[in-house]
A and B are shown apart, each in its own frame.
Chain A
Amino acid sequence: MKQIKLITLIIISLLIHNLSHASSNNDLENKIFKNLRCLICQGQSVYDSQSDFAESMKIVIREKLGEGMSEDQIYFYLKEKYGAWLLYDPALNKNTFLLWSIPLALFLLGGAIIIRKFVVLKKTQ
């Protein structure tokens, strides 16, 4: 009786382990799909797109994850073929410098204008 209980416990824990592993793999897959631009419908991510090429790309990414590639290695692998354009979250380099710096500069400028307005308003009061 004890043995049966032990075996049941082992089976249940294995099932739970497998399920949680599968869901973490799914989360990673989806994260990668969401960060890649669809080649055909370029306004959509690979995750959202149902196009043939997006579906094929999903298969390739699953294959590469199965081979043990990390998220960054997959991005690098695809970047080699399609360029950094494919990524929705491109790395900071000399080509993407303006892309990253302009929003930050505008944010700081806006903040400075607001603060200045407050200072002027306080002084006049």
Chain B
Amino acid sequence: MKNKLLGLLAILFFLFSFVIFFKGLDKPTIYTPELQKNISLTNFEAKEFFSDQKINSNELFTKSNFYLVNIWSSWCVPCRDEHPFLLKLQNENKVKLIGINYKDNKKNALKFIEELSNPFDKIVSDKNGTLSIKLGAYGVPESFLIDQDKKILKKIVGPIDQKSYSKIIEILNETN
């Protein structure tokens, strides 16, 4: 009787482990925690991309708009994939785009926006990548949709695709 019970427990344990690991196969290997509620974008100081002049985040963000802060780089291949969506968002009246050029060579970055067109209202440079860390970014590309109070409404880790683009439009339309 005791041996039967132990055997049954072993089979149940095996099945339980199998289900857990099998389900784990479908999960993405890069884990990104859920965005904590009511987090605002921190204030920062950075160099303006074109002029190299110091600029404060308060000068970048005004109370009248939503902003999409996009971290990009010319060496980042997925940044090319999301570029058409950024260009589409540029045509939206409610949102302005702020680019953060991450650890890039200026010549290459200029070539990149010359070739694909510049969707950004303003671009700041992040030469050593510390600005992106201070903003809580995970990688390139990454985007933060923020409201007039600089509250982060949505964080998109990885390139913007059709799904995340539609979500951004939905959020913009919701907040009339």
Interface residues of A (CB under 8 A from B): 39-40, 42, 52-53, 55-57, 59-60, 63, 80-83, 85
Contacts and interface: CB of A to CB of B under 8 A. Distances in A.
The 10 closest A-B pairs by CB, nearest first: A56-B129, A81-B136, A83-B33, A60-B133, A39-B138, A85-B33, A56-B133, A60-B130, A59-B130, A57-B133
A71 B43 CA distance: 23
A63 B129 contact: no
A60 B31 contact: no
Contacts of A82: 33, 136, 138
Interface residues of B, number: 20
A40 B29 CA distance: 10
Interface of B: 29-31, 33, 36, 39, 102-103, 128-130, 132-140
Contacts of B30: 40, 42
A60 B29 CA distance: 26
7 contacts: A52-B140, A53-B129, A56-B103, A56-B129, A56-B133, A60-B130, A83-B33
A60 B138 contact: no
Contacts of A52: 102-103, 129, 140
A80 B134 CA distance: 10
A39 B139 contact: yes
Contacts of A83: 33, 36
